[in-house]
Amino acid sequence: MMLVKTKKELFEKLQMLREKGSIGFVPTMGALHRGHLSLVDFAARENPVVVVSIFVNPTQFNDPDDLKRYPRDLEADLELLKTTGCNLVFAPEAAEMYPEPDTRKFDFGHLEQVMEGKHRPGHFNGVAQVVSKFFEIVQPDRAYFGQKDFQQLAVVKMLVRLLNLPVEIVACPIIREKSGLAMSSRNELLSPEERENASLIFDILSQAKNLTGEKSVEGLVNWVIENINKNPFLNVEYFEVVDSENLQPVKTWEEKGEKTGCIAVHCGKVRLIDNIVLN
């Protein structure tokens, strides 16, 4: 496994690696856990070459404290990646990715106006800026994203359509801790007590999945919010039931198509997200 920090080094290494066949790309912000490693495993199964990027992208943080606190540990990340099928790690500095300020404004319409987009203004524009740069630099055949960031997946798929990019976006399932809590780099910022209580989020989402027969959509939304907020460590920012494809709000269970319940919860200073398919 090789580590490169500049685009020049990356181009040189990729020129050699590309001869082996297709490139699978896994973009991350580091502080790696089993969720990230599962994306690398999917990529390695489907491509002879796997590239992982580690970059805490400043343009997608709407909250400067969140950016400052975001966990970083390149040494530990490299140790973990050594145990996987990753061939090349790209860990650039901010100036390498943004030699000029990126002033591009993307329009994802409804996809960026709800849930994460509504509560983190500018977030998806920053994600689109950095992901489009990575796609241009790495030119992957396939790119792997986790379903934990459900809305991000929809935005990245639209980005690829908007820019006509020849990259296949592969969605990978959510990896959870034994307690059910979705793995996340931000979990490291939770105290042991907060972490224990945060497992209630998936517990309630799983129960909600079994209640769609007896509660209306609105009734279920209120039930989820009330039951999570009963826990003194947790405070729900939103819980919404949306169409899995277009993220339009779902009003009744009779509507066609797959429905996903998406949630953001504050636990102490940490903001956690999760989601579950409800039908």
Ligand X SMILES: CC(C)(CO)[C@@H](O)C(=O)[O-]
Which residues are annotated as part of the binding site?
29-36, 60, 146-149, 152, 175, 183-186
Query: Which of these ranges, 6-14, 22-30, 74-82, 201-209, lies near ligand X under the rule CB under 6 A?
Result: 22-30
Asked if residue 240 binds ligand BAL (CB under 6 A), the reply is: no
Find the binder of ligand X among 27, 35, 85, 140 (CB under 6 A). 27
Cα separation, 138 vs 190, whole angstroms: 34
Query: Which of these ranges, 126-134, 168-176, 197-205, 238-246, lies near ligand X under the rule CB under 6 A?
Result: 126-134
**Which residue, 87 or 147, is less far from ligand ATP as judged by CB?**
147
Q: Which two structure tokens, joined as six digits, stand for 153?
A: 């997946």
Distances (CA, A) of 135 to 80, 138, 139, 168, 279: 24, 5, 5, 11, 34
Query: Which of these ranges, 4-12, 26-34, 70-78, 239-247, lies near ligand X under the rule CB under 6 A?
Result: 26-34
The least distance separating ligand X from the CB of residue 226, rounded to whole angstroms, comes to: 30
**Which residue, 135 or 217, is less far from ligand ATP as judged by CB?**
135
Find the binder of ligand X among 4, 10, 23, 29 (CB under 6 A). 29
Which residues line the annotated binding site for beta-alanine?
60
**Which residue, 182 or 228, is less far from ligand ATP as judged by CB?**
182
Which residues line the annotated binding site for ATP?
29-36, 146-149, 175, 183-186
Find the binder of ligand X among 47, 57, 197, 244 (CB under 6 A). 57
Is 110 in the active site?
no
The least distance separating ligand BAL from the CB of residue 66, rounded to whole angstroms, comes to: 8
Binding at 190: pick from ligand X, ligand ATP, ligand BAL, none (beta carbon under 5-8 Å per type):
none
Sheet holding 270-277, edge to edge: 234-243, 259-267, 270-277
Q: Are 92 and 57 in contact (CB under 8 A)?
A: no
Residues that bind ligand X (CB under 6 A): 27-29, 57, 60, 127, 130-131, 149, 152
